Structure 1
């Protein structure tokens, strides 16, 4: 199946364009965590007891991509999809564009001087976010609260999907035994939260980049050996060639392997979620 057909009219510089159809509700007296909530475009929900919760990258809802992707998940699965605003005061979505390539070799022609200068400029702008960026657990309380609030609304079977920083949240949430409503998770190009792996006993699907500076080949090998040694724990791991960190949430038309990996990773997430929720 097709997840989101990519064409020049719907994609610019890794940012999906379009108009999200869901509803955003900020935090208030009733809810600790703001969130985006979307349903199938045909208004036909298969079950009001199952849901997907999508945990975004560090830019949270400042980038339109997670909302548009949530709409696509809702249509494909016929379920409610939530995107929690679990990161407070995220950085500008273009803050790291000059030093974070979307695909291998994008900045290969730059001189060393230019690269150093670009990094320096980014550090000057990004320094106040760096502590939070290097400490995933700082966002975990709100990620957990957002899940608790959804459970309190009556959802009994939930699949969680996470990208980048959201992938770290999925690892931590799945490792917490109190989250009985979780039936599994999809983890896309995260940081390797190795301390959680021994406690994850529910099905997981991992979509990883083969050139990820945050989750290298040694991490991938360690992940596989850890989970493959577990008996009776479903584990799937896809490693996409010629891709970098972020490929599953910020695709680009300028690089065919990245574009294909975006499609395959999210289509596999749909198949995996459907099996866990309905089979």
Structure 2
């Protein structure tokens, strides 16, 4: 359920503008009279990093809707920000010792990954009467978005370099999906990515989808980019626009 790249990355600069809500302690970037919403499903750093909050602020402003970031780990994220490693360009490999350190840190807290997710969505739907809700998920959150894509809880999803999932879970998705794909991803590797797109293309139900690849990137770049690398900075900014355009087309448009 984890990989070395999940533990690499950088904190984005900036000051979040939203608030911690009374809905399961989720972060909320709100817009007045929003009838539609986006749920941002974070990676394993959760709300301990500013990144998902800053992304929520950006999406809320660009889309003119509420954006929620669930507190999926109840304040006990599997990895602390101080345990991050700065990312390298595509092609880096981790040693056996790196794997051992990651397992040692993450294993005791991995069960927390699955807490608070469905309960948050249920509470959100029962207390907020949105017309439509979309989800964008990163790493572990990406795998969660895939699972929820089969449930009808969301109307559209964006999946960014997801954690491990099965082909059956992909085939069960019944809402429009947009995929952000890293060049070098030890979980959602190139061969699996091609099979995933072929599976979507072979469906007969006409559910919309798209896959976009980003050169020079590794797993995690859309959540924790090291913007000191020009190609990573450009790719990260492009993923933000990909997400905005997808939601404009499938979530916030009047059609």
Paired residue for 1:193? 165
C-alpha contact 1:189 1:245 (8 A) present in aligned 2: yes
Residue 82 of structure 2, aligned match among 77, 94, 98: 94
2:233 is the counterpart of 1:233: no
* C-alpha distance 63-146 of structure 1, shift in aligned 2 (>3 A): same
CA distance in 1, matches of 2:209, 2:99: 37
Residue 49 of structure 2, aligned match among 63, 66, 72: 63
Unaligned runs of 5+ in 2: 1-8
C-alpha RMSD over aligned residues: 2.2
TM-superposed deviation, 1:21? 1.1
* C-alpha distance 102-24 of structure 1, shift in aligned 2 (>3 A): farther
Alignment of 1:256-271 (within 5 A): 256-271=230-245
* C-alpha distance 233-122 of structure 1, shift in aligned 2 (>3 A): closer
Paired residue for 1:14? 10
* TM-score w.r.t. length of structure 1: 0.79
Paired residue for 2:132? 157
2:206 is the counterpart of 1:223: no
Q: Work out which of the two has the higher radius of gyration on C-alpha atoms and give 1 or 2.
A: 1
C-alpha contact 2:158 2:178 (8 A) present in aligned 1: yes
C-alpha contact 2:35 2:65 (8 A) present in aligned 1: no
Secondary structure class of the residue paired with 1:94: helix
2:184 is the counterpart of 1:211: yes
* Deviation by residue 1:164-221 (Cα, 9 ceiling, x = unmatched): 11101100111114x2xx2200000112422311211210000010101111112101
C-alpha contact 1:52 1:161 (8 A) present in aligned 2: yes
Secondary structure class of the residue paired with 2:82: coil
CA distance in 2, matches of 1:148, 1:116: 41
Paired residue for 2:151? 176
C-alpha contact 1:95 1:126 (8 A) present in aligned 2: no
- Displacement over 4 Å in runs of 4+: 115-124
Q: How many residues are aligned here? A: 240
Residue 80 of structure 1, aligned match among 54, 66, 87: 66
C-alpha contact 2:137 2:143 (8 A) present in aligned 1: yes
* TM-score w.r.t. length of structure 2: 0.85
Residue 25 of structure 2, aligned match among 34, 37, 43: 34
C-alpha contact 1:102 1:246 (8 A) present in aligned 2: no
Unaligned runs of 5+ in 1: 1-12, 133-137
